[in-house]
Amino acid sequence: MTPSCLFCKIVRGEIPAVRVYEDAHTLAFMDVFPASEGHTLVIAKTHAANLLEIAEPDLLAATVTSQRIARAVWQALVPDGLRISQFNGAAAGQSVLHYHVHIVPIREGQRAGAHGREKADPAALEAVAIRIRQALA
């Protein structure tokens, strides 16, 4: 882990996050600037800046967790679609240089960007996280 990395700090518990799922290798939590209700991030716990740097075992773990979380979001929130994306480098839209996957529920006609413009209410994030956690159970 990298001392100054925002997501490494979340893994270490130094910064709060609304956690959805965690195992030995990955962590899923609600995006605090969601593009839509239910926008969830999946990270590998081991620090790697992007897809080009992540070790294959960590990439596999993050991919398996992404699928698990996407299925739970689909079941819990019943969106019309899911946008699953991953950015590499600031020019591509990556705002935190730690490998992560965005799972963004989309409603028909909705035009959601990579991130929302406003910080979400923590209580609202927790309410959605509860629904996703229930779908994981």
Lookup result for tokens 């079941």: 75
Check residue 98 and give its pLDDT. 97
Asked if residue 108 is part of any domain, the answer here is yes
Q: Give the C-alpha separation, 96 to 27, whole Å.
A: 15
Q: Give the C-alpha separation, 112 to 76, whole Å.
A: 19
Check residue 27 and give its pLDDT. 98
Q: What is the chain's alpha carbon radius of gyration, rounded to the nearest angstrom?
A: 14
Lookup result for tokens 């698990």: 68
Asked if residue 1 is part of any domain, the answer here is no
Asked if residue 40 is part of any domain, the answer here is yes
State which residues form the domain around 46. Answer: 6-136
Whether 77 contacts 129, CB under 8 Å: no
Task: Give the percent of the chain with pLDDT over 70.
Answer: 96
Check residue 131 and give its pLDDT. 98
Average pLDDT rounded to a whole number, residues 32-40: 95
Q: Give the C-alpha separation, 99 to 90, whole Å.
A: 12
Q: Any idea which residues carry the catalytic annotation?
A: 100
Overall domain count for the chain: 1
Q: Return the H-helix or E-strand segment holding 74.
A: helix 56-77
CATH number, domain at 100? 3.30.428.10
Please state whether beta strands 26-30 and 81-85 pair in parallel, antiparallel, or not at all (unpaired). Answer: unpaired
